[in-house]
Structure 1
Amino acid sequence: MRHAHVKQPLPRVGRLAGGLTLIALALPLLPAAQANDPIVIATASPTGVYHLTGQSICRLLEVRCQARPSQGSEANLRAVRAGDVPIALAQSDLQYYAVEGIEGFAGAGPDTSLRSLFSVHSEPFTLVVRRDAGIQGFDDLEQRAVNIGNPGSGQRATMMQLLAAKGWTLDDFALVNQLPAEQQSLELCHGNIDAMVYTVGHPDLSIRQAIDLCDAAIVGVEGPYVDALLEDAPYYTLAEIPAGVYSRDQPAVQTFGVRATLVASEASDPDEVYAVVSSVFENFKRFTSFHPAYSLLEPEGMIRDGLSAPLHEGALRYYRERGWIEDDDEEAEEAEEAEEAAAPES
């Protein structure tokens, strides 16, 4: 088992108790302030599904909870590692990078304190274009003006991976914008960019805005470079944006994607993590009603799919109570991880 609860001996009363009383009198507001602190969940753009997911989880909790907008997955993972937030949402690929200490996390090294709670919805990599730009697929983006996402966002990180698989760099675009999700649709409508990319669950407010206001379209992202990316990266999967999500004439769109995941630090309060996890699964039908992207979720997949970091102690406690994870499962997983760590690099 990864965590063990050790029962501490009770302190002797007397002078110790008197000393604690004096400390409590000297700091009368500290316990109350701590008790009133909300559980904070870092999300992403206020208009995206991540923020709605954080808000949805908070609606289920019986204690104070705050869904806090952020710059996105990479920024969230850094904030969790630094102890700035206890819980956050992050793309499954970025979670993997943080655990391994690669890509944008190479300088910081592997985050051995990162823990998973569960995964949420699928997030297709979505390419939205102006219809008058003549863009039929990703290949047509060469020498076009493209918004790749703000630094620290998940879509920017995924875009850079896709460019590397295709053999492109940012120099292959005529113009590169780095706007956050809530600003890119208007930039597209104003004609300042030809295309924007977004890794997000559907339907999404920002994409709907682009389609409704300036007759934008979603086009597929397919090709040998996508196949190569999927073969090399276990956190990516083929994905489909269903037909008719944004308009009657919108066809099904083939692309690839990741999963949204909820993560925490190993140091995050196990009782708070337990409260978050139990609130979602004890009110599962209500949770899945909050957004169409959650409609296909099943608990069995949520506690395994897209999770590179070990499960948090608070999450494990709940899953064991439900009988979803046995101690033997954890011991086998730990043995496999130890074996992989000990194996010589090829």
Structure 2
Amino acid sequence: MASLGIALALTFAAGSASAERLDVRIGTASLTGVYFAAGNAVCRVLERRFGRDMKCEVLETGGSGANVELLSSGKVNFAIMQSDVLASSFIGDKGPRGVAALYPEIFQVVYRKSLNIDVAAELMQHPFNIGLQGSGTRRTLNALLETLNFSTDDFAAPVEMHAGKEAAAFCDGEIDGFAFVSGVPNSKIAQVIRECGAGIVGFTRRNMATFVDARPGYSYFRFRKNAYDGMDRTVDTFAVMAILVAGHGTPDGLVRIVAESLLDDIDYFERLHPAWSELLGPDMATNIDRALMHPAAGADLYRTGHHQRVNPAALPRADCNGCRGGNAVMCLH
């Protein structure tokens, strides 16, 4: 039934010039992060569904905070962001809205094992990357510090560095730690643990209780020893959800096509990365606050799997000049 609906949608689209494409532009984060992999996975699902009738671009960005601005300016029409950033940027009908919850994102504090520290707070006395202003990790770190009556001014040697550079800086000895919010496993963190003497350090349960209880959208998370190769202790931290969102100006029909394509092809989607390998269709909706859910990707879509198909011919289109390969429809920036 799903394949018949897609076939009919493509039939409607056939009346336009063959060079025209449905246009999806997804803001993600750094190339080494799970957001970028998730954006590519969404594009691969759409590519399987619509072939050359879909242009899907994945953009490297500064992360969740930067994606809010990109959505607002119209430079992207979809993005991936942390659930806490979505909640804080929600301004009624004009803000970004959730389309699908993809996977839990873990607040991971990386440290140099030779420092012999026991809790994350001890890293405040060492060179530490607090992240760039506006990034999702920086926003989460600021919220954590505020809740515990600290600020970035309390770091002895804070560094503001792009997340894409911090692994090299750690391995070169420029910093002794950094925080990163991502799915698990994350290739960057796995690399510094494997090659550069890094480990994961956590928080006291008392501090975690204070923070999680005070901030909606967060939950406890416990790292097991085998979460990464070379990890030698259990660690207590917290998590948010990574959510695919749509901008205010994104047509409802396009939102619904993306949402139903993910649901229809969820078995394929979950094979593309271990971070969301156990994703279930209903989880895409139930893990988003109902008030933040895009109306075109309503909970009934995920609960029942019943789709009222949309005519893609009525949606905004763009040429896909420059895509790699004669049949390529996924253009990567």
User: After TM superposition, is the score higher than 0.5?
Assistant: yes
Q: Tell me if the contact between 2:113 and 2:199 (Cα under 8 Å) persists in the aligned partners.
A: yes
Residue in structure 2 matched with residue 322 of structure 1 by the alignment: 305
Q: What corresponds to 1:93 in structure 2?
A: 84
Question: Offset of 1:249 from its aligned partner?
Answer: 4.8
Q: How many residues align?
A: 285
Question: Which position in structure 2 is the counterpart of 1:312?
Answer: 294
Answer yes or no: is 1:205 the counterpart of 2:187: yes
Which structure 2 segments of 5+ residues have no match? 1-15, 308-333
Aligned partner of 2:38 in structure 1 is: 53
Other-structure match for 2:110: 128
Classify the secondary structure of the residue corresponding to 2:199.
Answer: strand
Q: Match of 1:238?
A: 220
The structural deviation recorded for 1:83 is: 2.2
- How far, CA to CA, are the matches of 2:111 and 2:207 in structure 1? 20
- 1:126-167 CA distances to partner (integer Å, 9 max, x unpaired)? 000011122221221232211111222111111111111221
Residue 315 (structure 1) shift: 1.7
Higher strand share: 2
Q: Which amino acid aligns with 1:96?
A: A
Please name the residue that 1:274 is paired with.
256
Q: Give the residue type in structure 2 aligned to 1:183.
A: K
* Structure with max Cα Rg: 1
- Residues 81 and 111 in structure 1, CA contact (< 8 A), matched pair in contact too: no
Corresponding residue for 1:78?
69
Query: What is the RMSD of the two structures over their aligned residues, measured on CA atoms?
Result: 2.3
- Equivalents in 2 of 1:141, 1:319: separation in Å? 42
Question: What SS is found at the alignment partner of 2:125?
Answer: coil
Q: Which amino acid aligns with 2:305?
A: R
Contact 1:165 1:226 in 2 (8 A): no
More deviation, 312-321/186-195: 312-321
TM-score of the superposed pair, with normalisation by structure 1: 0.76
Aligned equivalents of 1:113, 1:195: Cα separation in 2? 34
Q: Name the residue aligned to 1:184.
A: 166
Residue correspondence of structure 1 range 12-31 to structure 2 within 5 A: none
What is the identity, as a one-letter code, of the residue corresponding to 2:43? C
Cα distance change, pair 308–98 in 1 and its aligned pair in 2 (3 A)? farther
Structure 1 residues 306 and 253 mapped into 2: Cα distance closer, same or farther (>3 Å)? farther
Q: Which runs of 5+ in 1 are unaligned?
A: 1-30, 101-109, 325-346
Contact 1:89 1:260 in 2 (8 A): yes
Q: Deviations over 1:109-139 (max 9, x none)?
A: x664422101111011000001112222122
Greater mean deviation of Cα atoms: 121-130 or 203-212 = 203-212
Name the aligned partner's letter for residue 60 of structure 1. V
CA distance in 2, matches of 1:142, 1:130: 13
Q: TM-score, normalised by structure 2?
A: 0.79
Distance 1:308 1:178, change over 3 A: farther
2:194/2:230 contact within 8 Å kept: no
Deviation at 1:319, TM superposition (A): 4.2
